[in-house]
Amino acid sequence: MKKERIDVSRREFLVRSTTLGAGFSLGLYLPFTGRGVLADVGAAETMSSEKSEVNAWVVIEPDETVVIRIARSEMGQGTLTGLAQMVAEELECDWSKVTTEYPTPGQNLARDKVWGSFLTGGSWGIRGSHEYVRKGGAVARHMLIEAAANQWDVPMAECHAADSVITHVPSGRSTTYGKVAAAAAELFPPEHVELKDPKDWKIIGKPVKRLDTDDKLNGKQIFGADLQLPGMLNAVIKACPVFGGTLKSFDADKIRNLPGVRAVVAVEDYAAAVVAETWWQAKTALDALPITWDKGPNAMVSSASIDQMLDEGLTSKDQVFVGNQNGDVNQALKRAGRTVEATYHYPYQNHATMEPMNATARWTKDRCEVWCPTQNGEAALEATAEAAGLPIGKCDVYKIHLGGGFGRRGAFHDFVKQAVAIAKQMPGIPVKLLWTREEDMTHGHYHPITKCKLIGGLDNEGKLTALHIRISGQSILASVRPQWLKDGADMITFQGFLPEGDHTISYTVPNLLVEHAMRNPPVPPGFWRAVNINQNAIYMECFLDELAHAAGKDPLEFRRALMANHPKSLAVLNAVAEKAGWGRPAPKGVHRGLAVVKTFASHVAACAEVSVDGKGKLTIHRIVAATDCGYAVNPQQIEAQVEGSFVYGLSALLYGKCTIKEGAVEQQNFDTYPSMLIKEMPKVEAIVMPSGGFWGGVGEPTIAVAAPAVLNAIFAATGKRIREIPLKDTDLRPV
């Protein structure tokens, strides 16, 4: 059946495209509209040839190349390949012919949000879009088969597709996708398609080759910092170093005649920028620019004053929110045969992406375009339109692979607004803004700082009868998304402690109370890879080890006794214990520690093996890690994600800490905020054990178990409980 023109009313378009920054709702209608709408909105110039578009997800060229459009962002985690696998699975195409491209958020709005959400964060890229991207492939397959059947004048039911070839089974005739793609593009898509049963998957679940590796190895891959456009100028910015401070004045005449300088501009009321022919010319001139700042009241803030605020929250009766509660903790603690108490502390940490924040903008009075690495194309588009002062329909954002994201390029697009603000002062000229490393380190949105006081009650047999957890510290949502607060509470703070959902506690405790005393210093918090499960896993898993030691019980058996109602979490814990050899002698001088969490809907566990010599030198020899994410789209990528997340998580454990002095971050580069070295990285043995039936995350949940497993192993090796990180500040010599 020929495709009909689909007209969307202005009102309907506005209703469907109002929440630019929100996640995509699976209940939203997804019209798999084809080339007609794309041509109408003039968006085809940035995408594959419209003539071979079968539907919004699939373009098939005459040479049999299959272009799969991916809305989520690739930042090293493999989402691009994983999503392409899901489309290709239902499409039944030849994987060796697959390539990908990004649509733009502007095109997405113009096409009734056909690609769903452009947000890549919260380990949501695959688990949040698996159904509708597979439907995109299934719809395209149906249309290709229908086109072939029409040409042969046979029933579709007699035709079969595999590896980009369509066969008429009774006669043996065959054709290829490339030969019928143009005809398929003229057909109307089916209203309903059946998705494959997981047992029939041929590409999903297989460790197929990543689609972005070759270009990264041969240098073809362009990141935002690499981008070059004709006539492009370069900009460097410097904002007030004190949070909340403003720009008072600068003397542009002092640098206006320096080599290459084209402009010296103010960016709103808080920053100065220099535009020059090269980036180094801009940086050199900006370094020489005399600037006077109004540092404001936050210049009095320090790490010590923030600590006092958090300490007050540990015992305060005010502004306390409950995240999980059952039984009567106070009475149970009074009746306990023994109580154990400890206070833990987790510091500010920077995202520290290898590629500093950057964006390239070109502004005219009629249109604004931005090229940038972003985790959220829709939020970047919204930021572009706001800064440009133009209707959103006159703006667009072209996504580029990210040189690291970790949450920094998700909710926060200050760098986009800055690039547009600078470009507005040079109409028609593309301007690339690239932050210095110092700007990136001192103007981040940091992993929130928290402290946690835990009190556990044990009966006379050493069983855990009561657990009171009080978190004191920052709320990300209160700063970033206050509309997401639930009666004032930030439920994301309780990751890993909640009674239900994607971030549930992995244990059953007869009497439990988990609270948050919200205390918000003026240092801006942000979503940092895995967010609050990082500290919550340390608080819970290290304190459970303390309780097991106080009860005189084996840490594994102590956990098992609390996990009867959590079989999937118990399964991953048992898997790492078995493979690591828990209960059997470790090599001489080597000691083990455990950790397990459920977060981002996945169940993960780790067993670390460490040694500490007489001088306190720590060696992390090995970490065995198990992940049950329900369905494993690409097991090899999951293994790589486990390994990569441990690099990030262990770097935070060993070195990650931002301190505040006179309202500013003290750490300005990698000399004071280092990452772990290759020689420090342990051997990682990843166990991928998908149990099916649900879609869990991968990139974020695995990071959480590395640090507590290592900390528990350090206690086994030294007899010392480490309750504050990073370890670089701690004397690890055995007691």
Half-sphere exposure of 410 (CA within 13 A, CB side): 30
> CB–CB of 260/276 below 8 Å?
yes
User: 583 to each of 257, 490, 588, 608, how far by Cα in Å?
Assistant: 72, 40, 14, 14
The helix or strand, by DSSP H or E, that contains position 598, with its residue range, turns out to be strand 591-599
Handedness of CA 459, 505, 526, 221 (dihedral sign): positive
pLDDT of residue 20: 28
Contact, 494 vs 503, CB < 8 A? yes
DSSP reduced 3-state for 17: coil
Which residue ranges form the domains of the chain, and what is each CATH number? 10-208 (3.30.365.10), 224-296+357-434 (3.30.365.10), 303-349+446-729 (3.30.365.10)
Residue 206: the pLDDT is 97
Span between the terminal Cα atoms of the chain, in Å: 79
Q: How far apart are CA 456 and CA 542, in angstroms?
A: 12
Q: What is the pLDDT of residues 183-210, one digit of tens each?
A: 999 999 999 999 999 999 999 999 999 9
Of 603, 634, 628, 641, nearest to 690 by C-alpha is: 628
Helix (H, G, I), strand (E, B) or coil at 472: strand
Phi-psi region of 456 (alpha: psi -120 to 50; beta: other; left: phi over 0): beta
So what's the pLDDT on residue 78? 94
> What pLDDT, on the 0 to 100 scale, is given for residue 51?
53
Q: What CA–CA distance (Å, rounded) separates 360 from 223?
A: 11
Report how far residue 599's alpha carbon sits from residue 504's, in angstroms, rounded to the nearest whole number.
7
Q: What is the mean pLDDT for each group of 10 consecutive residues in the chain (735 residues)?
A: 35 29 27 32 43 91 96 95 98 97 96 94 93 97 98 98 98 98 96 96 97 94 96 98 98 98 98 98 98 98 98 93 98 98 98 98 98 98 98 97 96 97 98 98 98 98 98 97 97 98 98 98 97 98 98 98 98 98 97 98 98 97 98 97 97 98 98 97 98 96 97 98 97 94
Alpha carbons 291 and 466: distance in angstroms, whole number: 57
CA of 82: how far to CAs of 74, 156, 366, in Å?
A: 10, 29, 38
Phi-psi region of 669 (alpha: psi -120 to 50; beta: other; left: phi over 0): beta
pLDDT at 47: 56
Cα–Cα dist 126/134, whole Å: 11
CA neighbor of 606 nearest in space, from 630, 623, 582: 623
Strands 320-326 and 511-518: what pairing? antiparallel
Give CA–CA dist 468/323, Å, rounded.
12
The gap from C-alpha 507 to its chain's centroid, in whole angstroms, comes to 26
